[in-house]
């Protein structure tokens, strides 16, 4: 088992990966640096290996797929996850690692949004998207994570081995944040500086398509983790829509004793029925979700036993 493992997922980062590896080796000389190449068409893997990193490959495209492979293959007391584009300064890694090793924090979030992100980042829609996602998740899940989508994080062994990676792409960070909050894991923020990509290095993010994936991930995870709230909202919306169409029919009936819009009345009754079903589905799924949380605590205990065996 490694004491500290630095995990760097990479796709075409030949211009920056050498500096990233060397910076982290300087700050964390005891750490093992892992670079996972995700089908790069340049010489990222060769450069990383010459810089002193252990290079491995993930052939399923997407950052989520790379993280899944990393978490499965590597055992460490502390994991530092960063990007290969040199936007996250290595000098904050020691503070993040100490929080995991000394304070037993499960996930340390490298908070860009409280420092230089909005001035360094030159993509305005990314700024808007980060703010929207942060406020949405903090409101829906009642937490105070300062930066939901940062790629600079530290994890405990227990977090890594109990985290079910479902996302395939860049929405993986959002999934990590929601999982940590919902499972009542110990989360702390560390304010970090952020610097924009150097000239010649291109972002792999697509503002619109990846942004939509993140929003869909939030909706999916809210449904899975907070089913009572999700289906109650759905039930109320359906009931309100049905009421809007039902009221004119009732008014007409009171005034004339006739129901000229019989199809509307029938549809309204079915929508009301669907609203009732949605509400009780939320009640049932909330019970199942509570049972899943209880089962997860048992998984954490198993991870603790495995951790103690590996560190003996």
Residue 119 confidence (pLDDT): 66
* Regions in the chain scoring below 70 on pLDDT: 116, 118-127, 197-208, 210
- Whole-angstrom Cα distance, residue 13 to residue 44? 6
Radius of gyration (C-alpha) of the chain in whole angstroms: 24
Q: Give the pLDDT confidence score for residue 311 in this predicted structure.
A: 84
pTM above 0.85, yes or no: no
- Say if strands 153-156 and 76-81 run parallel, antiparallel, or are unpaired: antiparallel
| 32-68 pLDDT, tens digit each | 999 999 999 999 999 999 999 999 999 999 999 999 9
pLDDT digits 0-9 by tens, 79-93: 999 999 999 999 999
Q: If you ran DSSP here, which 8-state letter would residue 311 be given?
A: T
**Cβ 34 vs Cβ 74: under 8 Å:** yes
């Amino acid at each position: 088992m490694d004491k500290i493992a630095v995990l760097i997922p990479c796709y075409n980062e030949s211009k920056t990966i050498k500096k990233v590896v060397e910076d982290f080796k300087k700050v964390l000389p005891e750490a093992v640096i892992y670079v996972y190449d995700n089908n790069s068409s340049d010489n990222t893997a060769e450069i990383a290996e010459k810089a002193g990193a252990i290079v491995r490959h993930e052939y399923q495209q997407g950052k989520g797929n790379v993280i899944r492979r990393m978490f499965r293959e590597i055992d460490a007391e502390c994991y530092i996850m960063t990007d290969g584009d040199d936007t996250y300064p290595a000098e904050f890694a020691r503070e993040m690692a100490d929080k995991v090793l000394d304070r037993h924090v499960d996930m340390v979030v490298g908070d860009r949004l409280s420092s230089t992100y909005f001035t360094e980042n030159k993509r305005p829609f990314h700024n808007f998207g980060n703010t929207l996602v942060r406020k949405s998740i903090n409101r829906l899940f009642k937490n105070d994570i300062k930066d939901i989508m940062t790629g600079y994080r530290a994890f405990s062994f227990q977090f890594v081995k109990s985290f079910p990676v479902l996302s395939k792409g860049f929405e993986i960070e959002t999934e990590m944040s929601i999982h940590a909050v919902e499972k009542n894991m110990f989360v702390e923020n560390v304010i970090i500086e952020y610097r924009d990509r150097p000239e010649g290095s291109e972002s792999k993010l697509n503002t619109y398509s990846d942004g939509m994936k993140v929003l869909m991930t939030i909706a999916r995870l809210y449904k899975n983790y907070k089913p009572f709230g999700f289906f109650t909202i759905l039930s109320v919306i359906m009931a309100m829509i049905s009421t809007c169409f039902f009221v004119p029919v009732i008014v007409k009936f009171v005034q004339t004793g006739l129901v000229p819009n019989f199809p509307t009345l029938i549809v309204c009754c079915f929508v009301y029925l669907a609203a009732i079903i949605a509400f009780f589905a939320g009640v049932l799924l909330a019970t199942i979700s509570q049972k899943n949380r209880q089962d997860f605590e048992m998984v954490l205990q198993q991870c603790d036993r495995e951790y103690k065996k590996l560190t003996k």
